[in-house]
Chains A and B, each alone.
Chain A
């Protein structure tokens, strides 16, 4: 199968004062194109660290990370930033929309880095908002939207550049059950209908159950693959 993400012998540790905390040890992971992967594990096990490495917002101590054929560990900061603009869509636990921009403007924002014309940007942003079912809330500010709606805008923002991978760190962590369900269905839909590769970190077994694959991270070690019933 065609792997979109390859992690080879990844180690990562943090220094806390004089102490060195080893977070990830010799992680090897292949994620095929079109995967919907859930990473679970106890708090502090390094899930977010792993996700950040894949998304190119953190760097490993050693090992290689290859995303759609590019070894991102060799890129400079500026190259990495540019790479993220085209290859990664982020979904955060706290949605993290820009409060002074409308839903539409929030979704348009990442397109500023793509060189699309204003008209094309508008078209893409509206399409993304249609996919998440919020085309009627274009001019609403984040504060005028519910948590679930904000997270759906954030999903539109993550997919609007058509990135290679979508990463989500606890995307339902701050949502009520109903909204969480909606968001997860949306992610599952993006995966099944548009063949988007999604990597999601979650604590919630029900959320993980929506993924195609669940992997457990414990004490820096990634446990064997377990297919879900989805």
Chain B
């Protein structure tokens, strides 16, 4: 206990230096946790994906449609339990600033395939019954203060014109990783209007969403589906939902790598700061370690003192940084609106924060500990302080 007391008091002996170092650690951990959370947010689509869902799209590109007639053929593939389909609609709500991912989907099968979008029974019924109905995630509804029954007008970009919907439900995410910023409406509503204005674009879908019984057969089923349409006019590319989402993330990979890199650079900088503080602290006290050595203390005790002190500094900083990450994230989310649909500080990030603070504490203590352990005992004869 006395050693613990001593190492705590040592940690706060140069009060200003310690406070500045702890503050630097706090900021570093805050920044690190924050950047990690941004990266997580980017991957949220991947995280939220289910191994029991496949996505089939045109092999040429994401924006090239497939005939809706493929649906029946896909349904017959062994292991396929459910087929839904839809289109990325890309409509704009009032202004382009308002980022609301919106899709035209076959509603009944879609909701069955995505049980994580939770609607009350009445909302679900109302949505399915209203051809012009739509549902939106809780976050968008809150952001734009939508109420059930409101009329929502989207300006089409891919499908020109003004499109009017009635909000029939506000869905909640089953899990924290569920995206609550999207809007869904009936594929038929889109298709029927297309038949009138762009008949050649009607009866085509952007993607099929396929439910399978056994995730272990995902690769096999994907191949089988794609082989059905080999050498046809529109060949397909089928992959798991996760692979599909990863494909999106890959487009912005350079940014992600940069963010990750920065987050690790921050750790290296904080390591340098703590190491510098520790080496100053220990250098000023070498005679004290020498005095302890004359008393018979050796490396185990001296290591405890030096590493303990270093860890007190880094973990104090880390814990305050971790605590501050929450209000910081809240401010950020409020400012960003629905741009990052899922922005959750994960347990993993917090654990990583803590592991890093321990690793930094130990690394920063290595050289000072070595110096303290090897201080010549004769040094004890010089004046302390």
Contact = CB atoms under 8 A, between A and B. Distances in A.
Q: Chain B contact residues: over half helix, strand or loop, or mixed?
A: helix
B293 A96 contact: no
B269 interface: no
Given A94-B384, A99-B385, A78 B291 contact: no
A95 B380 CA distance: 10
A142 to B, nearest CB: 9
B250 interface: no
B340 to A, nearest CB: 47
B295 A110 contact: yes
B256 to A, nearest CB: 46
Nearest to A85: B296
A84 B295 contact: yes
B377 A58 contact: yes
B384 A97 contact: yes
Contact of B291 (A81, A96, A105, A113): A96
Interface residues of B, number: 27
Interface string A60-104: 000000000000000001100111111010101111111111000
Given A82-B296, A96-B287, A109-B295, A52 B378 contact: yes
Interface stretch (B3-11, B38-46, B161-169, B317-325): B3-11
Nearest to A104: B2
Given A112-B2, A112-B3, A81 B293 contact: yes
A15 B204 CA distance: 91
Contacts of A77: 298
Interface string A165-204: 0000100000000000000000000000000000000000
Given A92-B291, A109-B292, A112-B3, A99 B384 contact: yes
Contacts of B380: 57, 90, 92, 96
B69 interface: no
A208 to B, nearest CB: 19
A3 to B, nearest CB: 23
Interface string B270-307: 00000000000000000110011111111001000000
A93 B381 contact: yes
Contact of B296 (A58, A81, A95): A81
B216 interface: no
B383 interface: yes
A58 B9 contact: no
Interface in B352-385: 377-378, 380-385
A108 B296 contact: no
A28 interface: no
A94 B9 CA distance: 22
A55 interface: yes
Contacts of A78: 298
Interface in B1-59: 1-3, 5-6, 9-10, 13
The 6 closest A-B pairs by CB, nearest first: A85-B296, A100-B9, A94-B383, A57-B377, A84-B296, A81-B298
Interface of B: 1-3, 5-6, 9-10, 13, 287-288, 291-298, 301, 377-378, 380-385
